[in-house]
Structure 1
Amino acid sequence: MKNLFVALILCFCTSYSAFSQSFDDYFVDKTLRVDYLFTGDANHQDIYLDELCSLPRWAGRRQRLSELPLEGNGDITVADKATGTVIYRTSFSSLFQEWVSEDEAKHVKRGFENTFLLPFPKQPVTVTVRLKDVYHKPVASLTHEVNPGDILIHRRGLERITPHRYLLESGPATDCIDVAILAEGYTAAEMDVFYADAQKACDALFAHEPFKHLKSRFNVVAVGSPSDDSGVSIPREAQWKSTAVSSHFDTFYSDRYLTTRRVKDIHNWLAGIPYEHIIILANTDTYGGGGIYNSYTLTTAHHPMFWPVVVHEFGHSFAGLADEYAYDEAPSAQYPYSVEPWEQNITTLVDFDSKWKDLLPEGTPVPTPLETDSATIYTKVGLYEGGGYTLKGIYRPTTECRMKINEAPRFCPVCERAIERVIRFYTDK
């Protein structure tokens, strides 16, 4: 009986300790910026530590610190070195992991920059970063120590702050989700154009639910990073520009895929400004964009489809939503049929219970016939075949959605719920 009593006391103490953990137990109000290189090819991937930086404030969440917002294609775990207690976790995807599935990766080795923001620890910690393959199995891992007193942690953001303006200021960074909109391909003389474009992007985002009714949980800052040249690089047209973050079209030889691999440059421009999520506006009317979960959104600002595209791409980078369009009969290299995608708005039916099964009317046929009524094509939830780039074997929630076509006026109910869950994960106390 005595041993049982002691065990119960220990169990209670352990549970209470985990429950009572607060931000102030382990962290100070600063950001630890960790720069990595993800390297390798289709057969083997590695992770290398590049640089550690400190930023003046922490703009991220201060609750649910040891939980993941979403599964992602990779994750980071921070543990107190002395006790092994997990004190912070986050997840991500990366351009490198997309590239690994490209044909080029079968015969070329490359390295990609990746940067992540962590709360700054009070005491030494171990940081473990993992990459997972399309079957959700870890394929690369790196564990390293961080000593907060290390004199070689580069202090950034204390001076030479990039000029910026707040477009939406709902409250302190500690209480809100802080979105930074960064200028790409705007010269110093074009900054008024950039700030106007940034306002349009902000307006477009908060015209959509659930961002609209949860607007008070966001701050949005426009950051005027100047470029030497106006416009962005278009390799297929032999146009190469000197721009703030060196973005270009034709990523992986896809005309409209607009990305940058200069991730450290992005974060250097933002140093000293509270931020968590990033939208980069490209000063061009060429159609295109890209969004990578917990990395960045990058989209053209002067194409007629600017409004829907910036919202679509932010759906990727903020809420980890998948593309719902499809164009190939063959299975996608990113979504094998034998695995349930972690993205909340597509399913292979391997684990449909974890998706929108609770929203599905009883007796719904699989696949669900396409809706043709304009009043219900965005709202009638079913299992519509085609999504994740594949016409067969992958299903989406509605006939049309912001994550499928530019003409959609809204996200579907499943995407709206997924976005709201992420917002509440970051901001509910």
Structure 2
Amino acid sequence: MPVSPIRFLACALALAAAAAQALAQAPATIRVDYLHSGNALADTYALERVLVEPLTWPGNLAHNVDNTNRGQNMVEVVDPKTGDLLYSRGFSTIFGEWRSTDEAGKTSRGFHESVRFPDQGKPVRVRILKRDERNLFSVAWSVDVDAGAPEVIRKQGPAPARLIPIRVNGPSAQKVDLLILGDGYTGADMKKFELDARRLTDYLFKVPPFRERAADFNVWAMAVPTQQSGVSRPSTGVHHASALGTRYDIFGSERYVLTLDNRALRDIAQYVPYEFIEILVNNDTYGGGGIFGQFSTVAASNDWADYLFVHEFGHHFAGLADEYYTSPVAYQSSAARLEPWEPNVTALRDPARPKWKKHVVPGTPLPTPWPKAEYEAASRAYQARRTALRAANRPESEMSALFREDLARTNALFSTAPQRRAIGAFEGANYEASGFYRPEMQCIMFDRSETFCKVCEEAISEIIDLYAPHADKKQAVISK
């Protein structure tokens, strides 16, 4: 029997109220904003401000310590008197990506960053760790924080936009809270934003392992209206103002979409219980981006928005690496082949003990053969056509058609490969044609496929378990 809109809204509001009541029992959310600056060789940190956010802590206090070993950085909150670890989370940063670009070898830049943690009811020491050349974490910066100090910001204005409950499955402390923010949506576009958010959320939960764990998520949405539809795309002379400042052409890559205004992002997001953020931009030009522990983005009106949403969320949510290597990126290649921290790529220094050994069937050759030469030859031709289409500013429909053609050709090529369904070590990953390996021939992180490989699925499930440890498999209460 169909559910009436009024009954649906009442159910959503009731669940949201229950979640808010549960949050009221939680400690306050403390946010430390700081400036991270430097270049390819060195970096420095400086405290900007400490805030008590409007909402209490949304996380599970029984899982305050992160043991997943993800991220280029780690935040640790410790007792300065005893040294006891009170809270930790791995994350990566836009600065960390930028310092791998050519520009970082020529100049210095500064980036705004934030870390959030539950109030401990006493002064704490906040430490930012980063990985060293051994791939181990060491302290890069620390600052003592007293949430009761007079300079701490405690009161802020009202929320800048209406909160839309997309899926509410229970108290935030027992769920993963995903916030979908909109950018480039005018007041007249608000209904479209809600439809985009629901459509893309529904698709996310059709993809394993999110499908099986849908009941472990709450999804919220909010969009601050803009004066013009769409976000900035400087390479084509398009400049639009928005509260989030999301734009294309980040680090010179025409398809890379991020916001560099972290302060604005956090000041808007703080009015919603969240642990992860996906930004929908109201554009049809192919593009997106994702930073582990920060946020991900997607061009919501593009023909490939479903794929982009899931792929970029894989970066942001689970720290998955890109497995492709034939597309141009801003990253500057290095001769070094250190073992990546990302769970789905490896330098395969010891073929007898690959990173995902438990998934490899005995007898599988490592490295694992695949039609690499044929794939690369076809990809060179495809990339040339892609570049020409973008340079000529051809309609986006032609780019979408090229993507469909490329995926069909790849599927046909791989369909007869002997190791088509094997888990092994396939050379070509992490933006490099040689020296890095991926677990399977195909995956959402490799091309525009529809599923994650088994190694990526496991990596995603580990993060879900960190935030929603008492998983139940009941159907989501609210969907579309």
- TM band (smaller chain): 0.7 to 0.9
| Cα separation, 2, equivalents of 1:133 and 1:248 | 31
Residues 146-173 of structure 1 show CA distances to partners (whole Å, capped at 9, x for unaligned) of 1121122212567335311111101011
Match of 2:41 in 1: 43
Aligned residue number for residue 226 of structure 2: 227
CA distance in 2, matches of 1:158, 1:252: 34
Structure 2 residue aligned with 1:8: none
Residues 1:419 and 1:38: Cα distance change in structure 2 (over 3 Å): same
2:452 is equivalent to residue 411 of structure 1: yes
2:171 aligned residue: 172
Aligned to 2:14: none
- Are 2:36 and 2:43, in contact at CA under 8 Å, matched by a contact in 1? yes
Q: Tell me how far apart the structure 1 counterparts of residues 278 and 77 of structure 2 sit (CA, whole Å).
A: 26
1:354 and 1:220, CA in 2 relative to 1: closer, same or farther beyond 3 A? Answer: farther
Higher strand share: 1
- Quote the Cα distance in structure 2 between the aligned partners of 1:336 and 1:36: 32
Unmatched 5+ stretches in structure 1: 1-26
Tell me, in whole angstroms, the C-alpha distance in 2 between the residues paired with 1:73 and 1:299: 23
Summarize the alignment of residues 61-210 of structure 1 with structure 2, pairs less than 5 Å apart: 61-132=60-131, 136=135, 141-155=140-154, 159-160=158-159, 162-210=161-209
String of CA shifts for 1:69-107, please: whole Å, max 9, x gaps. Answer: 333101111111232211111111111111111111112
Alignment partner for residue 427 of structure 2, among 385, 392, 411? 385
How far residue 379 of structure 1 moved from its aligned partner, in angstroms, is: 4.2
Tell me the distance in 1 between the aligned counterparts of 2:34 and 2:333. 23
Q: Does 1:397 align with 2:439?
A: yes
Offset at residue 338 of structure 1 (A):
4.0
Match of 1:373 in 2: 415
| Amino acid paired to 1:76 | V
- Describe the SS at the equivalent of 1:155: coil
Q: Which has the higher contact order (CA 8 A, sep 6+)?
A: 2
Distance of 1:191 and 1:102 partners within structure 2: 37
Aligned partners of 1:377 and 1:336: how far apart in 2?
A: 29
Aligned pair in 2 of structure 1 residues 336, 72: CA closer, same or farther (>3 Å)? Answer: farther
Any conservation in 1 of the 2:31–2:52 contact (CA below 8 Å)? yes
Tell me the CA shift for residue 262 of structure 1.
Answer: 0.4
Q: Is the Cα–Cα contact under 8 Å of residues 159 and 268 in structure 2 kept in the other structure?
A: no
Contact 1:164 1:221 in 2 (8 A): yes
- The answer to whether the 8 A contact 1:279-1:314 is kept is yes
Q: Which runs of 5+ in 2 are unaligned?
A: 1-24, 372-413, 471-480
Q: Distance in 1 between matches of 2:139 and 2:85?
A: 20
> Retained in 1: the 8 A contact 2:298–2:309?
yes
Q: Does 1:420 align with 2:464?
A: no
TM-score (norm 2): 0.79
- The structural deviation recorded for 1:354 is 6.7
Query: Relative to 1, partners in 2 of residues 1:172 and 1:378: Cα closer, same or farther, differing over 3 Å?
Result: farther
Once residues 420 and 456 of structure 2 are traced to their aligned partners in structure 1, the CA distance between those partners, rounded to angstroms, is 11
Letter in 1 for 2:437: Y
Q: Cα 1:421–1:167, aligned 2, differ >3 Å: closer, same or farther?
A: same
Work out whether residues 324 and 389 of structure 1, in 8 Å CA contact, stay in contact via their aligned partners in 2: yes
Rounded to whole Å, the distance in 2 between the matches of 1:409 and 1:101 is 30
Name the CA distance, whole Å, in 1 between partners of 2:178 and 2:96: 24
Give the TM-score of the pair, scaled to structure 1: 0.88
In 2: Cα distance, 1:58 partner to 1:178 partner: 11
Q: 1:32 Cα deviation (Å)?
A: 0.7
- SS of the residue 1:201 aligns to: helix
CA distance in 1, matches of 2:430, 2:326: 9
Q: Tell me which residue corresponds to 2:258.
A: 259
Alignment-derived partner of residue 359 in structure 1? 359
Aligned length: 401
Assess if the C-alpha contact under 8 Å between 2:66 and 2:90 holds in 1: no
Are 1:28 and 1:121, in contact at CA under 8 Å, matched by a contact in 2?
no
Between the aligned partners of 2:272 and 2:250, the Cα distance in structure 1 is 29
- The letter for the 2-side match of 1:99 is W
In structure 2, what is the Cα distance between the partners aligned to 1:83 and 1:124?
12
- Checking the alignment, whether the CA contact within 8 Å between 1:322 and 1:403 is kept in structure 2 is yes
CA shift at 1:52, angstroms? Answer: 1.1
Of 364-373 and 264-273, deviating more is 364-373
Q: Deviations over 1:357-413 (max 9, x none)?
A: 11111121122122833799874212111000001111101111011111x111111
1:295-332: CA deviation from partner (whole Å, max 9, x where unpaired): 00011111100000010000000000000101289xx7
Aligned residues of 1:335 and 1:388 also touching (Cα < 8 A): no
Higher helix share: 2
Compared with structure 1, are the counterparts of its residues 348 and 333 closer, same or farther at alpha carbon in structure 2 (3 Å cutoff)?
Answer: farther
State the match for 2:321 in structure 1: 322
- Between the aligned partners of 2:420 and 2:302, the Cα distance in structure 1 is 24
* Shift >6 Å, 4+ stretches: 374-378
